Amino acid sequence: MTTACILGCAGAALLPEERALFRDVRPWGFILFRRNITDADQVRRLASSMREAIDDENAPILLDQEGGRVQRFAPPHWRRYPPAGAYGAAGTSDLDRRGLAWLGGRLIAHDMSLLGLNVNCAPVLDVSAGPDDGIVGDRGFGASPHEAAMLGRAFAEGLIGGGVLPVIKHVPGHGRGLADSHHELPIVDCSVAELESRDLLPFRALSDMPMAMTAHVLFTAVDRQRPATTSRRVVKRLIRGAAGFSGLLLTDDLSMNALAGSLSERVGGALSAGCDIALHCNGVFDEMVAVAAAAGALVGESKRRAVAARRRVPKQSEPFDVAAALHTFDAAFPRRLAA
């Protein structure tokens, strides 16, 4: 039995109690953070031990490797990547910019594949609210929904070409939510028509992607009580409906302070709302036990979506000249890639 959750761990190697928990509950996948990373050999050992614990040699192991402010692999062991917002300012044409975004995704996929990691929680498709937006800001591809869609797709296809599945986020859009959902609940008061004409456009354009992650944001035009992650109305009307997303829907981290209630209540609320997989990131053991118990077995339509998502990984990566790619990429972003 596979449990409908993704779990982390406390440190750079599995503790005996973590290994036993994973063996017993068999989470669908795992996620790594800076606390879990020291060097390449250590990451490979950790990934292998996670998969061994659940007897699944290809189990999804996730990472947030966006570039810019959010990259779990960083110097001195790995190169630094530019933020998503830098691609829109690069090159002299849309063709150049799209090529560089694809190259960024492909290089990140190359790094991840060497370590045995196969899911990247990127690209960020949230449309930035502008220069004063300190939440999305340069994590997104810009203030134009069409540019976010164009560059987001190129980045995502670069990841897929390198054998790494993208997770588009944070659907139905965090751009108007100017509070940090790690600490408090962002509230968006605009109409559904406004959301459809701007925020949802990139998600609709990439609705064929295998996985998406929800926003812990309250959209009052659809549900005045529950944020998107735990709102059946938002999932049905905006995510599955207006955005047309039919793939595997992950929650954002359920330990974030935007959400109310116990972890068990958060998990139950998210899965009842229509999310497929509960994501828990902080590696606190007692919390992981509670999340796994509340999530229960991955069954039905959610199981079908999970199987379909994993099948999107190419059996063989596309041919790729890493040295030539790095030469092109470094020429486009010389300052941003300095350690």
Task: Answer yes or no: do 5 and 153 share one domain.
Answer: no
Does 249 score more than 90 pLDDT?
yes
Q: Has residue 284 been placed in a domain?
A: no
Domain count of the fold of the chain: 2
* Amino acid 339: pLDDT: 39
The CATH number for 251's domain is 3.20.20.300
119 and 63 Cβ atoms separated by less than 8 Å: yes
Does residue 43 fall inside a structural domain? no
Judge if 246 and 314 occupy the same domain.
yes
Local confidence band at 338 (pLDDT 50, 70, 90 cut-offs): very low
Judge if 65 and 211 occupy the same domain.
Answer: yes
Q: To the nearest 10°, the Cα dihedral for 28, 308, 171, 289? A: -10
> Do residues 21 and 78 share a domain?
no
Residues 14 and 69 in one domain: no
Residue 262 domain-assigned (yes or no): yes
> Catalytic residue at 252?
yes
In a domain, 248, yes or no: yes
Measured between alpha carbons, how far is 156 from 119 in angstroms, rounded to an integer? 11
Say whether both 200 and 249 belong to one domain.
yes
| Same domain? 5 vs 69 | no
Q: Mean pLDDT for the chain?
A: 94
Question: Tell me: the pLDDT tens digits for 103-148?
Answer: 999 999 999 999 999 999 999 999 988 766 778 999 999 889 999 9
The CB density around residue 67, as the number of other CB atoms within 10 Å, is 27
Per DSSP bridges, beta strands 211-214 and 27-31 are unpaired
d(CA 269, CA 260): 10
Whether 142 and 232 map to the same domain: the answer is yes
- For residue 201, tell me if it sits in a domain: yes
The pLDDT tens digits of the residues spanning 154-173 come to 999 999 999 999 999 999 99
Provide Rg for the chain, Cα atoms.
19
In a shared domain, residues 19 and 84: no
Name the E strands within 39-191: 61-63, 65-67, 70-71, 119-120, 165-171, 187-188
12 and 68 in a single domain? The answer is: no
Report if residue 15 sits inside a domain: yes
Q: Which two tokens stand for residue 212?
A: 């998406």
Which pLDDT tens digit goes with each residue over 1-17? Answer: 999 999 999 999 999 99
pLDDT at 81 over 80: yes
The structure's pTM equals 0.96
Shared-domain flag, residues 17 and 128: no
Tokens (6 digits) for 233: 């109305």
Q: Is there a catalytic annotation at residue 327?
A: no
The two tokens of residue 244 are 């047309």
Length in residues, the chain: 339
Domain that holds residue 9: 1-32
Residue 128 and residue 176: Cα distance in Å, rounded? 8
Q: What span, in angstroms and rounded, lies between the C-alpha atoms of 250 and 114?
A: 25
Whether the pLDDT of residue 306 is over 70: the answer is yes
Active-site choice (126, 199, 252, 253):
252
Q: How confident is the model at residue 262 (pLDDT cuts 50, 70, 90)?
A: very high
pLDDT of residue 129: 81
Q: How many Cα atoms within 13 Å fall on the side-chain side of residue 129?
A: 15
In this prediction, residue 192 has a pLDDT band, given cuts at 50, 70 and 90, of: very high
Task: Give domain status of residue 263, yes or no.
Answer: yes
pLDDT in tens, 308-334: 999 998 777 778 999 999 999 999 998
Sign of CA dihedral 247, 292, 280, 129: positive
**Helix, strand or coil for residue 98?**
helix
CA triplet 69, 70, 76: central angle to 5 degrees? 85
Q: Which candidate, 215, 145, 212, places its Cα nearest to that of 180? A: 215
Catalytic residue among 77, 146, 182, 183: 182
Are both 79 and 18 inside the same structural domain?
no
